[in-house]
Amino acid sequence: MTDAKITSSTVRDDFNSIEAVLHYTRAAHSLGLWESERILIERFFTDRSAPLLEAGCGAGRATLGLWNLGYRNLTAFDFAEELLEQAQSLAVERGASAIRFLLADATRLGKCHLLSDIPSETKDGRLELCHLLGEKLPELGAVITSVAPRFSGALFLFNGLMQIPDRENRRAALGELHRACRVDAPLIFTTHDRNDSPEEAECWAGERERWAAGLQESHLVEFGDRYMESTDGRIFMHLPDQTEIREDLAATGWVPEYTAMRREIARESRAVRAFSDECRFWVAKRG
């Protein structure tokens, strides 16, 4: 593992790896929405015709789950080209070609991707390359600073927000979603919780001591980061506490409405628990 600091490019490369693509594509084809996700989606997104935005859609697991629930005005984006192609392919296979898939970075929704930044295999028109904060594609590299918000709700599921390195970048993503959504639009996302159990809190107390002594892993960006290797590829994850999330929501114009651990919402199937560990759900409204 490199000593270089984790960056968004690191994370993008990890998600585009063959191991990660296979892992998330299998889940998209066979797992679908978690029961906890379904419960909160139906509770907070009551209008199935309203325009919804899914950030970090990956291979389309939740996107197609939304479609199967009857949500028909869906826009989904990801910055990992390989996963996005899998999502689009699955949508066509499942008769959901009306879903709008975009190649975009959650921290820069107001900018177009330069074609020079896009790998050659995605330049054939299969993926729509544009920003999410305007109605038309501006000149390449142009920035739109004032547009009407378009979306009545947003989702950033399976800890996607926490896989953005650097707190300022996570706040940038929350700010971009705020700009894209209408007033009172709900945002559903998940995180881990460093204080979920005494064991977890004790583990992070030891990690804090390492950071204070300058003995943390050199590639990590900030306290709360983990970078793990598995048979499904490398995974960067930031694990916050509740105070951090509430501060980030307040700093970006979101008002927290609801939070609970997944186990408090629903008992998930064995397949879901094998796919993902415990997490905390958040619902915030756009102020």
pLDDT at 66 over 50: yes
What is the number of H-type helices and E-type strands within the chain? 10, 9
Give the mean model confidence (pLDDT) for residues 45-70.
Answer: 97
CA distance 179 to 252: 10
Asked: is 8-286 a CATH 3.40.50.1980 domain? The reply is: no
pLDDT of residue 120: 43
Instruction: Please provide the distance, in angstroms rounded to a whole number, between the alpha carbons at the two ends of the chain.
Output: 41
pLDDT of residue 104: 86
pLDDT of residue 109: 81
CA distance 176 to 251: 12
What is the identity of the amino acid at 145? T
CA distance 236 to 14: 9
pLDDT of residue 123: 41
Q: Is 202 left (phi over 0), alpha (psi -120 to 50) or beta?
A: alpha
**Each residue of 176-232: pLDDT tens digit?**
999 999 999 999 999 999 999 999 889 999 999 999 999 999 999 999 999 988 888
pLDDT of residue 110: 62
pLDDT of residue 271: 96
Residue 20, SS3 per DSSP: helix
Percent of the chain with pLDDT over 70: 85
Going along the chain, which residue ranges are E strands?
A: 52-55, 74-78, 100-103, 153-156, 186-191, 225-230, 233-238, 254-261, 280-286
**Each residue of 135-191: pLDDT tens digit?**
444 444 444 344 456 899 999 999 999 999 999 999 999 999 999 999 999 999 999
Query: What ranges do the domains of the chain cover?
Result: 8-286
pLDDT at 111 over 70: no
CB-CB neighbours of 121 under 10 Å: 11
pLDDT at 121 over 90: no
pLDDT at 16 over 90: yes
* Gyration radius of the chain over CA positions: 18
